[in-house]
Structure 1
Amino acid sequence: MTPVFLAAPPDGPAYTDVVHMASQAPDWLDDAIAVWSAYGLLVFAVLMVLGWWRARRTGSRAALVALAVPVIVVLSYAVDSVLKSIAHENRPCQGAHVATLEACPAAGDWSFPSNHATIAAASAVALFFVSRGLGLIASAAALMMAASRVWVGVHYPHDVVAGLLVGALVAAGAVALLRRRLDTLAPRMETTPLRRLLLR
């Protein structure tokens, strides 16, 4: 496969600048961002559970959309993985001679698009259809997740921007398709053992 960029990517200097800023930042800030970058996706899982719990009070249709959020996130991750296998872009930390906060992934762990950004964006967009408030919280968290992946040195800026776009587009499309079938699917599921997941 041919890498996305045969030469240095256009945002390579921006990546270097961000990593340099990270090296000059206070330790407490770097530590907080590194923890968020590594474990922040758990926040989206909590928001999904909260969205489902609240949606059950609204009705089976809302609960069904909430239950679909993690499935949509997995679908987005799958699309992202296919794109990675096509693009074959090396991690920036593998070629740039810079010290990064996070250990550089091994060769073959491709960079474009960012998995973390894709998962975060898919979660945020799908959650918007469950609860506007949760969607706003998740959107802010998704932007912070994307920025953190550059800050810790494992992605170029274009990797996380692409990840946000992939996650958002896949999630929006999947929810749009699901909502067209809600009037049929929700009543059917109410007659199955899954009813307990849909209604309080």
Structure 2
Amino acid sequence: MPPSVRPSARSFFWAAASCAVLVLLAIGFADRPVSTWSHAHLHGQQGFIWLTWIVDPIPPLAVLGLIGAGIAVVAGWRPGARGRVLLAFCLATVAALVIKDELKILFGRTWPETWTNNNPSWIRDGVFGFEPFHGGAGWFSFPSGHTTLITAPMVVLWLCVPRLRAVWAALIALVVIGLLGADFHWLSDIIAGFYLGTAVAIGVVALLRARP
């Protein structure tokens, strides 16, 4: 585990403020042009969709990892440095999975494309906006779950296994490229998902680093 992960109140404030500013700028000036361009020039290219699949095995592996760790602890295992990294990876992923779903319900944002249950979208219907607490898969775009679920575990590894930071950053970048290329998410969704995943990772690593 890294020797210290204790963001100050000031750094937390500036991170939250920068997230809000970037998200609002993207909503106002970038989301619709990026989605329209992606649909016009990249629509249907399977390579971008395949990149988004990088995320798919991570949540089930994290759940299995936590189950296995729980059984091992009952059997007498006490995690050392590597064990704590594994726990942080799994806990950050599961926490990110729960939090992002609750935020999706809270914000109720429509998608760039129509792809599930005839959902309203920007490309098909010209729909663009938020309907808080609307519910339903058609209002589940913000924040990006894929971005959150790749960022949280990769930031844990970024903090705990710094010699491979290029790998962890590349995996995040590949998923983001896939999401934008496939027009699966707004740019602002991705920005919010990145900040959320980073916050979850830092919080989990700091929690596991803490001493009684």
- Matched with 2:6 is none
CA contact (8 A) 2:147 2:176 kept: yes
Instruction: Report the number of matched residues.
Output: 155
Q: In structure 2, what is the Cα distance between the partners aligned to 1:176 and 1:73?
A: 15
Deviation at 1:61, TM superposition (A): 2.4
- Matched with 1:96 is 122
Deviation at 1:96, TM superposition (A): 2.5
Q: In structure 1, what is the Cα distance between the partners aligned to 2:202 and 2:162?
A: 14
- Matched with 1:197 is none
Deviation at 1:13, TM superposition (A): 1.4
Q: 1:61 aligns with which of 81, 88, 95?
A: 81
Q: What are the ranges of 5 or more consecutive residues in structure 1 without an aligned counterpart? A: 50-58, 99-105, 185-200
Q: In structure 2, what is the Cα distance between the partners aligned to 1:9 and 1:85?
A: 22
CA contact (8 A) 1:77 1:115 kept: yes
Q: 2:189 aligns with which of 151, 159, 184?
A: 159
Cα distance 1:117–1:86, how it changes in 2: closer, same or farther (>3 A)? same
CA contact (8 A) 2:154 2:172 kept: yes
Letter in 2 for 1:95: S
- Matched with 1:122 is 152
- Matched with 2:106 is 86
Q: What are the ranges of 5 or more consecutive residues in structure 2 without an aligned counterpart? A: 1-22, 65-78, 114-119, 125-135
- In the superposition, the TM-score normalised over structure 1's length comes to 0.66
Of the structure 1 ranges 156-165 and 138-147, higher mean CA displacement relative to structure 2 is found in 138-147
CA contact (8 A) 1:125 1:168 kept: yes
Q: In structure 2, what is the Cα distance between the partners aligned to 1:42 and 1:88?
A: 23
- In the superposition, the TM-score normalised over structure 2's length comes to 0.63
Q: 1:16 aligns with which of 13, 36, 48?
A: 36
- Matched with 1:103 is none
Query: 1:10-49, aligned counterparts within 5 Å?
Result: 10=29, 11-23=31-43, 30-37=45-52, 39-42=53-56
CA contact (8 A) 1:15 1:156 kept: yes
CA contact (8 A) 1:34 1:152 kept: yes
Deviation at 1:43, TM superposition (A): 6.9
Letter in 2 for 1:80: K
> Structure 1, residues 160-180: CA drift from partner, whole Å, max 9, x if none?
111111001111121112111
